[in-house]
């Protein structure tokens, strides 16, 4: 199959279940909202070693937010409910509450499953906190040296999807990188998803486990390493390919992830120098969600 003249392999991306909380951070302006969102999603690329996967989802217009201020939606993802609750509390408490002019609201107000994160954060007020209502939402105003920090009492979470992916194979590193950047920029317009790796791009695509070092949870995906094309059996690097980048996508549900994959692939294949698009899978050993590339188009 070809998309924009580029070969798209008839394979599938293997994704897995994950718990996701969505937080709306508002501030005096977009700069300070972004600062807080960026801090709160730091060290959140992969559950292989990070305490959570996290990323900035999208901007929020003042007309869309409870307090009428600009903001950003972020997602925090964890394999367990307990782990997600801990990360939500830590990241809002340490990275949002501490940031100038910010407030934090539940980004999933319509879901039933919730954590009492704001209720727990109110104790920072040492008895001086007070309950307030913002646009019909139960919140707490915590007195601080700059004024007050507003946080909603409860934050919702859902069972989402992690690990939706596709690989971009390029003639050289600049071409592959430009295509990956184009894909991430396009995906940024899709609601409900994040690309949690640095700049949304994975330079170190891995496989499950390791061939030699059995103590590793993950290791380099040697079959997609261009420098090993003539050194490993079963290399997946075609002649003329010198760089591969992976785009990993997490989302609130599988349909969001599929939409993001399609949009990303369409954008990547418009960039000169892209030789092929494929995806990462492990024969169903990693996750139960098999997203076939051919079904996206």
Q: What is the pLDDT of residue 124?
A: 98
Residues 149 and 266 in one domain: no
Residues 121 and 215 in one domain: no
Task: List the domain range (segments joined by +) for residue 58.
Answer: 18-157
Residues 148 and 272 in one domain: no
Sequential DSSP letters for 72-119:
EEEEEEESSHHHHHHHHHHHIIIIITTSTT-EEEES-TT-S-EE-HHH
Instruction: Give the model's confidence band at 7: pLDDT under 50 very low, under 70 low, under 90 confident, else very high.
Output: very high
Instruction: Give the model's confidence band at 287: pLDDT under 50 very low, under 70 low, under 90 confident, else very high.
Output: confident
**What is the CATH number for 280?**
3.30.70.520
CA 254, distance to chain mean position in Å, is 14
Residues 60 and 129 in one domain: yes
Last residue of a domain, one of 125, 157, 189: 157
Q: 3-state class of 266 per DSSP?
A: helix
Last residue of a domain, one of 129, 157, 185: 157
Contacts of 210 (CB under 8 A, 6+ apart): 216, 218, 219
Residues 89 and 121 in one domain: yes
Residues 148 and 165 in one domain: no
> Which of 79, 81, 76, 72 lies closest to 102, judged by CA?
72
Q: What is the pLDDT of residue 1?
A: 93
Q: What is the pLDDT of residue 266?
A: 98
Instruction: Give the model's confidence band at 241: pLDDT under 50 very low, under 70 low, under 90 confident, else very high.
Output: very high
Q: 3-state class of 263 per DSSP?
A: helix
Sequential DSSP letters for 206-246:
EEES-SS-TT-SEEE-GGG-GGGTTTSTT----TT--EEEE
> Which of 60, 59, 43, 40 lies closest to 51, judged by CA?
43
CB atoms within 10 A of CB 123: 11
Residues 70 and 191 in one domain: no
pLDDT in tens, 166-222: 999 999 999 999 999 999 999 999 999 999 999 999 999 999 899 999 999 999 999
175: left (phi over 0), alpha (psi -120 to 50) or beta: alpha
pLDDT in tens, 128-152: 999 999 999 999 999 999 999 999 9
The arithmetic mean of pLDDT across residues 35-47, rounded, is 97
Q: What is the pLDDT of residue 284?
A: 74
Residues 110 and 167 in one domain: no
Residues 29 and 152 in one domain: yes
Residues 276 and 171 in one domain: yes
Last residue of a domain, one of 135, 157, 179: 157
Report yes or no on whether pTM surpasses 0.85: yes
- Average pLDDT, whole number, for the chain? 97
CA–CA gap between residue 17 and residue 160 (Å, rounded): 6
The arithmetic mean of pLDDT across residues 8-23, rounded, is 97
Contacts of 119 (CB under 8 A, 6+ apart): 140, 153, 154
Cα angle, residue 45 at apex, residues 40 and 46 outer, rounded to 5°: 125
Q: Pairing mode, if any, of strands 6-8 and 53-60?
A: unpaired
CA–CA gap between residue 82 and residue 75 (Å, rounded): 16
CA–CA gap between residue 33 and residue 101 (Å, rounded): 8
% of the chain with per-residue pLDDT over 90: 97
The arithmetic mean of pLDDT across residues 155-172, rounded, is 98
Instruction: Give the model's confidence band at 282: pLDDT under 50 very low, under 70 low, under 90 confident, else very high.
Output: confident
Residues 143 and 204 in one domain: no
The count of domains in the chain is 2
Residues 98 and 217 in one domain: no
């Amino acid at each position: 199959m070809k998309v924009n003249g580029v070969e798209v392999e008839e394979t599938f991306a293997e994704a897995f279940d994950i718990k996701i909380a969505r937080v709306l951070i508002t501030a005096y302006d977009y700069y300070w909202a972004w600062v807080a969102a960026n801090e709160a999603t730091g060290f959140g690329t992969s559950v292989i070693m990070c305490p959570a996967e996290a990323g900035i989802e999208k901007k929020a217009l003042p007309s869309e937010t409870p307090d009428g201020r600009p903001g950003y939606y972020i997602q925090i993802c964890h394999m367990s409910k307990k782990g997600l609750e801990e990360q939500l509390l830590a990241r809002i408490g340490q990275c949002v509450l501490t940031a100038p002019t910010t407030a934090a609201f539940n980004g999933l107000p319509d879901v039933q499953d919730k954590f009492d994160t704001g209720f727990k954060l109110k104790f920072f007020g040492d008895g001086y906190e007070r309950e307030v209502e913002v646009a019909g939402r139960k919140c707490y105003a915590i007195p601080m040296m700059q004024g007050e920090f507003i946080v909603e009492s409860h934050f919702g979470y859902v069972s989402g999807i992690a690990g939706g992916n596709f690989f971009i194979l390029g003639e050289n590193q600049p071409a592959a990188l430009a295509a990956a950047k184009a894909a991430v920029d396009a995906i940024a317009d899709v609601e409900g998803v994040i690309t949690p790796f640095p700049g949304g791009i994975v330079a170190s695509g891995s496989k499950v486990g390791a061939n030699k070092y059995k103590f590793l949870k993950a290791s380099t995906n040697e079959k997609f390493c261009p420098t090993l094309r003539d050194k490993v059996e079963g290399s997946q690097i075609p002649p003329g390919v010198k760089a591969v980048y992976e785009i990993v996508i997490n989302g609130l549900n599988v349909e969001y992830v599929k939409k993001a994959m399609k949009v990303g692939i369409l954008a990547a294949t418009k960039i000169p120098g892209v030789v092929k698009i494929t995806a990462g899978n492990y024969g169903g050993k990693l996750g139960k969600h098999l997203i076939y590339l051919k079904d996206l188009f």
